[in-house]
């Protein structure tokens, strides 16, 4: 493996990421999957980096999952996106910060459609005007929230409380980075590092002390793939895709997996539990699973945030092995406690690696 | 005596120079490198006869020694101006030349296989190009992979940077198919135990003895040809490569481990030819290769009268075709000079 070759590719795919004043659009599924991730992102931007980031409570799903499932027509999703842009315009913002990878792909796809086919843009302006009376401007900058963390990775490193270093061995922790398909596979130029060797997560991991492993099935689907999961009879494909990745990464002994997508960490987290139940197989050390994190959670850990405040007890593959390696103190008794200390009860389903 | 300046001292340039000298003209070749022969210096042996490239290089060098034309090595053309029917040429070494005609023979460049990022060239240790393999195939070189072992399974990928919308090259590079067959046979001769697979879209065996060599590769050397393009290559922990493709004849996805992956890199017009086109005020095709005024009857004529074209600066060409195109360029120049 020649890192110089990768650096050459990374240099070919650098994108402009706005510096401040973001209009934030949330994911419709992440708040269930990893409920603290988006809040952690907002906290980092506002409290650590002093950025102006605004979200309008009236914004909605982008309807991307419905669109990719052939339920939501293209005209409809264009108009929904136009409404999001109208809320941004009305609030006086021009830089869109997108939480979700699917949405990021949707916003880019629609903006590119409007560039190529201006008649579509005029049609959608009329739809939105007649339905809501709103007008909109196209964002000057569209960045995935992960791009923004990437942009400020060194600022985060300068404030870090914990490094991605194994405290027992002193060696860098080894990470699998997994990029959501709609981040750069649709438009390689819109992703940091392009589609084949994306750099956005690599940059974060390396800045915070860790190292990245490149394993043969790195590019393979996480297992979400809308039709694999949304169609119930196809869910066997979903778990077998994730399994293929776990089998491929296992020899490299990763300490954790980090992803920039809503679906990917969800499936790589939950399916480890399912595979353990089905086959008795775990992929981490000592019969444990491989912890799966969002990049916001990883940044939060580096900044010293309490893992339970970030909702990491919601992970089905326990994160404690990573916390232990990083030397992060935590109180196991408070894992399933409210902020006031009231125990809410341990889940009846046992987590992977327990 | 008429003076002809030839830009490029590869096969086409030297062959044109030789033929024009034979016709009684004064010829100067401008070559940017220290030696003549161009890309041919990098090849081991030539399809379909396995003729050592050194033999052809030797012939070209012999012509340079024995015939009365001059070569300006390590020199590039900076400007060309036309004055009273003659060309005034300034070089990078501050020489001023005056010519009655110019022949552009700037050749081609190999497609930079790094642009097909999914194959990991220059990232994964054992992904090489056909040009790299030619170097390895030269006498005295051992072909080894991880831990100094000989590769047991080798795959070739055809059409890397050719007939490929993603890399912006819609044209066929013409010589890669037969190069793949030739190299696969050479590898099999050197490594009889190795399994060899060629992943192709079509096999375009257009030349004399090409089809026969393709057949021989299958029947005598047991080389497997699989119709399908690679979607990606990844490096495994032991430095071998996992490749993914589809066998489009059986209609099945295919995953395979190989020890060595050879990318058959296509031809591009290259920056040198593009720069020369600007200096000469001549046009390029959409492919980047130089535009000829008629592909049937005037394949050596540029858009500028008195500026002629020879060899693979006009289109991908084999060594054989390049020599023939160069000779035809010399005939056209000679005829044109007689009439002017």
Question: Does ipTM top 0.85?
Answer: yes
Q: Of all helices (H) and strands (E), which one includes residue B331? A: helix B319-339
Q: Which region among A102-116, A195-209, A221-235 has the lowest average model confidence (pLDDT)?
A: A221-235
Out of B123, B232, B237, whose CB is closest to A219? Answer: B232
Q: Check CB contact under 8 Å for B123 and A9.
A: yes
Residue A349 resides in a domain = no
Do A210 and A71 fall within a single domain? no
- Chain mean pLDDT for chain B: 96
pLDDT, tens digit, for every residue of B308-337? 999 999 999 999 999 999 999 999 999 999
pLDDT, tens digit, for every residue of A309-318? 999 999 999 9
pLDDT, tens digit, for every residue of B24-60? 999 999 999 999 999 999 999 999 999 999 999 999 9
Do A167 and A298 fall within a single domain? yes
Do B321 and B244 fall within a single domain? no
Give me the CATH number covering residue A281: 3.40.50.11810
Out of A6, A217, A219, whose CB is closest to B123? Answer: A6
What is the per-residue pLDDT for A353?
64
Do B140 and B258 fall within a single domain? yes
> What percentage of chain B reaches a pLDDT higher than 70?
100
What is the per-residue pLDDT for A232?
87
At residue A240 the predicted structure's pLDDT band, cuts being 50, 70 and 90, is very high
What is the per-residue pLDDT for A350?
61
Helix (H), strand (E), coil (C) string for B172-238 = CCCCHHHHHHHHHHHHHHHCCCCEEEEEECCCCCCCCCHHHHHHHHHHCCCCEEEECCCCEEEECCC
A354 pLDDT exceeds 60? Answer: no
Task: Give the residue-averaged pLDDT of B65-85.
Answer: 94
Residue B19 is classified by DSSP as H
Q: Is the peptide bond before B48 cis (omega within 30 degrees of 0)?
A: yes
Question: How close does chain B come to A11, measured CA to CA in Å?
Answer: 13
**Which residues of chain B are within 8 Å of residue A9 when distances are taken between CB atoms?**
114, 117, 123
Helix (H), strand (E), coil (C) string for A66-102 = HHHCCCCCHHHHHHHHHHHHHHHHHHCCCEEEECCHH
pLDDT, tens digit, for every residue of A3-36? 999 998 898 899 999 999 999 999 999 988 898 9
N- to C-terminal Cα separation, chain A? 35
Disruptive mutation site among A5, A186, A247 for chain B (greatest number of B CBs within 10 Å): A5
What is the per-residue pLDDT for A230?
83
Task: Give the residue-averaged pLDDT of A290-306.
Answer: 98
Cα separation, B265 vs B110, in Å, equals 6
**Which residues of chain A are within 8 Å of residue B234 when distances are taken between CB atoms?**
214-219
**Which residues of chain A are within 8 Å of residue B124 when distances are taken between CB atoms?**
1-2
Beta strands in chain A (DSSP E): 22-25, 53-54, 95-98, 141-144, 174-178, 211-212, 256-259, 292-294
Number of folded domains in chain A? Answer: 2
Do B104 and B72 fall within a single domain? yes
B123 contact A CB<8A = yes
Number of folded domains in chain B? Answer: 2
Cα separation, A186 vs A193, in Å, equals 13
What is the per-residue pLDDT for A31?
87
Disruptive mutation site among B168, B237, B244 for chain A (greatest number of A CBs within 10 Å): B237
Structural domain of A204? 153-334
Out of A196, A216, A251, whose CB is closest to B118? Answer: A196
Whose structure tokens read 């480890």? A272
Task: Give the residue-averaged pLDDT of B295-300.
Answer: 93
At residue B146 the predicted structure's pLDDT band, cuts being 50, 70 and 90, is confident
At A157, list the tokens. Answer: 């490193």
Q: Check CB contact under 8 Å for B117 and A197.
A: yes
Chain A positions touching chain B (beta carbons under 8 Å): 1-2, 4-6, 8-9, 194-197, 214-219, 251-252
Give me the CATH number covering residue B122: 3.50.50.60
Instruction: Classify residue A119 as exposed, middle or buried by CB count within 10 Å of its CB (0-12, 13-18, 19+).
Output: exposed
What is the per-residue pLDDT for B242?
97
What is the per-residue pLDDT for A262?
93
Task: Give the residue-averaged pLDDT of B139-154.
Answer: 93
Residue A275 resides in a domain = yes
Task: Give the residue-averaged pLDDT of B244-260.
Answer: 96
> SS3 for B340?
coil
B189 pLDDT exceeds 90? Answer: yes
Out of B118, B123, B242, whose CB is closest to A1? Answer: B123
B177 pLDDT exceeds 90? Answer: yes
Do A194 and A283 fall within a single domain? yes
Residue A37 resides in a domain = yes
Question: pTM for this one?
Answer: 0.91
What is the per-residue pLDDT for A89?
98
Do A92 and A164 fall within a single domain? no
**Which residues of chain B are within 8 Å of residue A6 when distances are taken between CB atoms?**
123
What is the per-residue pLDDT for A1?
83
pLDDT, tens digit, for every residue of A155-191? 999 999 999 999 999 999 999 999 999 999 999 999 9
What is the per-residue pLDDT for B248?
96
At residue A351 the predicted structure's pLDDT band, cuts being 50, 70 and 90, is low
Whose structure tokens read 């393009």? B229
Do B60 and B13 fall within a single domain? yes
A225 pLDDT exceeds 90? Answer: no
Do B194 and B256 fall within a single domain? yes
Do B229 and B275 fall within a single domain? no
């Amino acid at each position: 493996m020649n890192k110089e070759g990768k650096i050459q590719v990374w240099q070919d795919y650098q994108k402009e990421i706005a510096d401040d004043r973001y209009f934030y659009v949330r994911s419709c599924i992440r708040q269930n999957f990893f409920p603290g991730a988006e809040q952690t992102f907002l906290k980092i931007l506002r409290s650590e980096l002093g950025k102006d980031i605004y979200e309008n409570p009236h914004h909605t799903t982008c309807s991307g999952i419905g669109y990719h499932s052939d339920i939501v027509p293209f005209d409809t999703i264009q108009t929904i996106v136009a409404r999001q842009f109208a809320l941004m315009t009305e609030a006086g913002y021009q830089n869109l910060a997108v939480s979700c990878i699917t949405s990021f792909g949707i916003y880019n796809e629609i903006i590119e459609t409007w560039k190529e086919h201006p008649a579509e843009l005029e049609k959608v302006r009329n739809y939105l005007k007649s339905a809501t009376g709103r007008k909109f401007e196209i964002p000057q900058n569209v960045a995935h929230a992960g791009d923004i963390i990437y942009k400020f990775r060194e600022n985060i490193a300068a404030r870090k409380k914990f490094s991605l270093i194994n405290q027992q061995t002193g060696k860098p922790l080894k990470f699998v980075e997994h990029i959501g398909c709609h981040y750069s596979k649709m438009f390689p130029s819109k992703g940091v590092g392009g589609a084949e060797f994306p750099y956005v997560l690599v940059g974060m991991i390396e800045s915070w002390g860790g190292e990245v492993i490149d394993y043969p099935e790195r590019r393979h689907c996480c297992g979400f793939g809308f039709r694999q999961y949304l169609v119930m009879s196809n869910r066997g494909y979903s778990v077998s895709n994730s399994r293929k990745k776990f089998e491929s990464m296992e020899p490299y002994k990763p300490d954790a997996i980090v992803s920039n997508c809503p679906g990917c960490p969800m499936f790589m987290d939950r399916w480890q539990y399912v595979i353990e139940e089905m086959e008795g197989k775990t992929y981490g050390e000592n019969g444990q699973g491989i912890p799966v994190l969002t990049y916001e959670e990883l940044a939060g850990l580096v900044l010293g945030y309490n893992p339970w405040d970030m909702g990491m007890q919601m992970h089905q593959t326990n994160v404690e092995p990573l916390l232990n390696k990083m030397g992060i103190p935590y109180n196991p008794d408070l894992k399933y406690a409210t902020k006031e200390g009231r125990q809410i009860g341990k889940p009846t389903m046992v987590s992977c690696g327990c | 005596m008429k003076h002809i300046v030839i830009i490029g001292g590869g096969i086409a340039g030297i062959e044109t120079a030789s033929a024009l000298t034979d016709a009684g003209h004064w010829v100067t070749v401008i070559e940017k490198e220290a030696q003549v022969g161009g890309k041919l210096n990098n090849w081991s042996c030539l399809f379909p006869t396995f003729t050592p490239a050194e033999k052809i290089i030797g012939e070209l060098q012999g012509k340079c020694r024995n015939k009365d034309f001059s070569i300006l090595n390590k020199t590039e053309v900076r400007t060309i101006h036309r004055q009273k029917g003659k060309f005034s040429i300034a070089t990078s070494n501050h020489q001023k030349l005056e010519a009655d005609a110019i022949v552009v023979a700037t050749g081609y460049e190999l497609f930079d296989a790094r642009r097909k990022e999914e194959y990991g060239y220059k990232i994964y240790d054992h992904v090489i190009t056909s040009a790299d393999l030619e170097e390895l195939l030269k006498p005295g070189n051992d072909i080894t992979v991880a831990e100094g072992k000989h590769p047991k399974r080798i795959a070739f990928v055809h059409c890397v940077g050719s007939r490929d919308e993603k890399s912006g090259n819609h044209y066929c590079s013409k010589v890669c198919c037969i190069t793949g067959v030739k190299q696969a046979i050479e590898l099999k001769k050197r490594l009889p135990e190795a399994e060899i697979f060629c992943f192709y879209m079509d096999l375009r065996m257009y030349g004399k003895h090409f089809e026969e060599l393709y057949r021989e590769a299958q029947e005598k050397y047991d080389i497997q040809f699989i119709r399908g393009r690679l979607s990606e290559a990844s490096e495994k922990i032991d430095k071998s490569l996992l490749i993914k493709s589809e066998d489009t004849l059986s209609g099945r996805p295919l995953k395979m481990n190989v020890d060595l992956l050879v990318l058959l890199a296509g031809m591009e017009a290259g920056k040198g030819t593009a720069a020369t086109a600007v200096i000469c005020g001549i046009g390029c095709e959409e492919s980047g290769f130089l535009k000829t005024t008629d592909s049937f009857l005037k394949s050596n004529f540029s858009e500028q009268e008195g500026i002629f074209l020879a060899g693979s600066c006009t289109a991908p060409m084999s060594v054989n075709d390049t020599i023939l195109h160069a000779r035809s360029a010399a005939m056209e120049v000679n005829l044109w000079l007689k009439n002017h």
